[in-house]
Structure 1
Amino acid sequence: MTLIPSAAIRDAFTPTGKLRASINLGNPILANVGADGRPSGVSIDLATEFVKLLDAELNLVVFDAAGKSVEAVVAERADCGFFAIDPVRGADIAFTAPYVLIEGFYLVKDGSPITTNAQVDAADNRVVVGNGSAYDLYLTRELKHAPIIRAPTSPTVVETFLREGAEVAAGVKQQLEADAKKAGGLRLLEQRFMVIQQAMGVPKSRGLEASAFLAAFVEQMKGCGFVADALRRHKIKGASVAPVVE
């Protein structure tokens, strides 16, 4: 089925004449800086495809952390964005179903006595997270005893973890694996603590018709193989395409 936006939908997504897409470079699975210095990745590919439907120009609004990216959409400095689904964010943002699933893991030092996720939530275990990230929001709700230390961004979690001498770092598995390899003397726990559901979102103020159109777009991109092709093209490992919602 071909998606055809109405004039009202075009206006909802391009109030400035362009689609301002909020991009978070703090999650390398979805976006990164290419060899040419420009943003590239699955989220940029989706934004590019979406703006074709709207017959508009694309303006990438780039941030180094998820929290900043979310704030831009909530404040309507951006017209759509790419985030992990979370009820806190859902107060102001209408999410699509997820298009990609990624895993959140814990990381510890090689000599740490912590070997399972169940051991993490203790008063003497300081857990470092990326400020405003999906796993920050999740662990803020779930951890009852372990204090949380917030690094400025997800890519600085391991750096902060080592500098602070903390007991645990939390984050996207692939980011932690890459940082652990560079630093040495670190290991991931064996099981994920959460599945992070990456979706597109639009300010709720843009209306139900706009959010429904965006949701339909995401389902089409999953169903036709676009998202899977983008993951392969950008050589992303450890992420999976979310199931199509019938």
Structure 2
Amino acid sequence: MSPEIVKNFAPSGVLRASINLGNPILANKDASGAPVGVSIDLARAFGERLGVPVELVVFDAAGKSVEAVVAERADIGFFAIDPVRGADIAFTAAYVLIEGSYLVRDGSPLKRNEEVDQQGVSVTVGKGSAYDLYLTRELKHAHIVRAPTSPSVVETFLAQQLDVAAGVKQQLEADQKRHAGLRLLPGRFMVIQQAMGTPKSRGQAAAAALEAFVEEIKASGFVADALSRHRIQGASVAPVTTQ
């Protein structure tokens, strides 16, 4: 990395990485409360590449994590690719693909993903999450109810007697084990393309350097090793993009 690129990413001499704990596939806390996970591993690897220390800026929801990068309170972040977010953030290609699923009660008449978008059906999502952004565009008839964070979606779904909970398949499966009488609809309603991003104001050269880093860590097996090391289910390494 050239000194100019390093300065673009870490003008203060420290790389501030925005971490979203609302997506348990990519980030979580260990027994001591410290952030751990795939996105933390990637942030530290990129800091090593730049030759600067890494500061983790931790949030409980995707929307807050995005806002930190847009406002340049963080230098890089880990987000689902979405055109709304792309107005201010330069995304790499995806490094991980994550399934989005629907959860309903056992007694629900809903059997298929395609049946969810009906008048009178309420769908719970985490506010500002990729699922919120996607379903806001795609659902034409169902009503969206926004929980404060993605991990609180099922609590909101149960407390408010709503019809459907939408989110990361792994999170919903964990909630299903904790609460009796729930089932996942078969398949998935979307695939999240999880990417790294940096403020567009950092310039095209910085965006290209981050893109190259992501392609390298996919091709080298770093991302696959991180998924395995953290025992992640429900996610796969995104294909390497031909340069």
TM-score, L = length of structure 1 = 0.98
Alignment of 1:19-30 (within 5 A): 19-30=15-26
Aligned residues: 242
Structure 1 position 18 matched with structure 2 position 1: no
Match of 2:191 among 179, 188, 195: 195
Q: CA deviation at 1:238?
A: 1.5
Q: C-alpha deviations, 1:190-211, integer Å up to 9, x for none? A: 0200000100000000000000
Q: Which amino acid aligns with 1:55?
A: G
Residues in 2 aligned to 1:118 and 1:217: alpha-carbon distance in whole angstroms: 38
Alignment of 1:73-222 (within 5 A): 73-222=69-218
Residues in 2 aligned to 1:127 and 1:237: alpha-carbon distance in whole angstroms: 24
Residues in 2 aligned to 1:118 and 1:230: alpha-carbon distance in whole angstroms: 34
Over the aligned positions, Cα root-mean-square deviation in angstroms equals: 0.5
Q: Which residue of 2 aligns with 1:38?
A: 34
Residues in 2 aligned to 1:70 and 1:34: alpha-carbon distance in whole angstroms: 23
Q: Which amino acid aligns with 1:89?
A: R
Displacement over 2 Å in runs of 4+: none
Q: Which residue of 2 aligns with 1:55?
A: 51
The more displaced of 56-65 and 32-41 is 32-41
Residues in 2 aligned to 1:166 and 1:140: alpha-carbon distance in whole angstroms: 17
The more displaced of 32-41 and 124-133 is 32-41
Structure 1 position 237 matched with structure 2 position 233: yes
Q: CA deviation at 1:36?
A: 2.3
Q: Percent sequence identity over matched residues?
A: 71
Q: C-alpha deviations, 1:106-131, integer Å up to 9, x for none? A: 11000000001111011110000000
Residues in 1 aligned to 2:2 and 2:119: alpha-carbon distance in whole angstroms: 54
Residues in 1 aligned to 2:101 and 2:26: alpha-carbon distance in whole angstroms: 17
Residues in 1 aligned to 2:124 and 2:233: alpha-carbon distance in whole angstroms: 24
Q: Secondary structure at the match of 1:30?
A: coil
Which ranges of structure 2 fall in alignment gaps of 5 or more residues? none
Residues in 1 aligned to 2:235 and 2:113: alpha-carbon distance in whole angstroms: 21
Q: C-alpha deviations, 1:75-118, integer Å up to 9, x for none? A: 00000000000000000000000000010001100000000111
Residues in 2 aligned to 1:215 and 1:169: alpha-carbon distance in whole angstroms: 33
Residues in 1 aligned to 2:96 and 2:114: alpha-carbon distance in whole angstroms: 26
Q: CA deviation at 1:35?
A: 1.8
Q: Which amino acid aligns with 2:119?
A: A
Q: Which residue of 1 aligns with 2:64?
A: 68
Q: CA deviation at 1:15?
A: 1.3
